[in-house]
Amino acid sequence: MPATPDDFPPSHAYALAHRCATCGAEPGQPCDVPRKQAEIDRTNSIRAQLGQPTLEPDPLRLLHATRIDAGGRHRDRDVAAAPWPEDREPGRRYDTLGEHWQAPPESL
């Protein structure tokens, strides 16, 4: 039985746990993506002019593809190394992110 998405941190948390090979951002720091940020700002500006609420961007959109790929490989390793869902202990973390991600209190 595959792991459910709630059993592990979100994909962007895994990506942020790695240094970005493209822009050099350190683990835990966002990527420097001025063109992506400008596109999001432009879209939200147009939405504001039309009287629509602005949209919160997907955290993965503000990261470089190389960092997202590294985070995906890291998450895949954690899912493969974890016990089957029925064998897991409640409240125990099976990810290897360490200090780069802390579970929200309600999910423990």
Residues 10-33: what's their mean pLDDT?
Answer: 92
Report pLDDT for 89: 86
Residues 56-60: what's their mean pLDDT?
Answer: 90
pTM value is 0.76
Predicted confidence (pLDDT) per residue in 28-50, tens digit: 899 999 999 999 999 999 999 99
Residue where the block lists tokens 């503000």? 62
Please report the DSSP string for 36-95 in residue order: HHHHHHHHHHHHHHTTPPPPPPPGGGGS-HHHHHHHHHHHHHHHHHSPPGGGPPTT----
Report pLDDT for 105: 52
In this predicted structure, the answer to whether residue 108 has a pLDDT above a threshold of 50 is: no
Predicted confidence (pLDDT) per residue in 67-104, tens digit: 999 999 999 999 999 998 888 888 788 888 876 566 55
- 1 — pLDDT class (breaks 50, 70, 90): very low
Residue where the block lists tokens 């999910």? 107
Residues 40-63: what's their mean pLDDT?
Answer: 93
